[in-house]
Every structure is written in C-alpha cells, then in structure tokens.
Amino acid sequence: MTLRLLAPALLLLGLAGCDGTGQMTPTTQRVGGGAAVGALTGLAIGSISGNAGTGALIGAAAGGVGGFAWDQHQRAQQRAFNQGVAAGRASSQ
C-alpha cells in the first residue's frame, strides 16, 4: 500500500530532473511546479478516496494546466510593464 502511494510521487520527482540544458525556463518552472503541487494534492485526495494513482494523475494534469495559465498571466503582465516603460522613455525624449 505504501509503495502504491509513493510510486507516483517518486516518478514525479524523477521526471522533475529531466531538463537537458540544466536550466529551466520560467514557463517550465511554473508548469512543473503546478503539476507537482497538483500531483501531491491529487495523491492525498486519491488516497482518501481509495485510488491514489488516478488522483495523482488527475491532479498533475490540472496543476500543469493551472501552472501554464499562471505563466501566461505573468508573461502578459511583464509585456504590459515593458511596454509602459518603453512608452515612458519615448515620451521623455
């Protein structure tokens, strides 16, 4: 039973190190972080309901989607900030 609960978490931790460049982009960090939190949450909820593996997979998928949405929000915010800075610099010249 313990192996059944720990296997998805260990698999997730193993996959977290699979980055060929050695440096993760902000998008990869946000999506990976969301998937990790989702998997752990799904694992906990799934273990209560009797199917930890399925809970972890569903949680990882939902967390990955949430992480990607958060990444897109952060990117849009950074673009708007950069455009505002550029407009301010252009108007002061």
pLDDT in tens, 64-82: 999 999 999 999 999 999 9
**Is 48 contained in some domain?**
yes
Count structural domains, the chain. 1
Q: Is residue 3 part of a domain?
A: no
Note the helical H segments in the chain.
Answer: 2-16, 26-49, 52-91
Domain contains 46: yes
Residue 49 maps to a domain:
yes
**Average pLDDT taken over every residue of the chain:** 84
Query: What pLDDT score was predicted for residue 12?
Result: 61
**Residue 6 is assigned to a structural domain of this protein:** no
Task: Enter the DSSP assignment of 24.
Answer: -
Does the pLDDT at position 6 exceed 80? no
pLDDT digits (tens, 9 = 90+) for 17-33: 665 666 788 898 899 89
- Classify residue 85: in a domain, yes or no: no
Domain with 73 in it: 29-79
Q: What is the model's pTM?
A: 0.70
Residue 93 lies in a domain: no
Amino acid (one-letter) located at 86: A
Q: Tell me the C-alpha distance between 19 and 72, whole Å.
A: 21
Kindly indicate the confidence band of residue 88, based on its pLDDT and cuts at 50, 70 and 90. very high
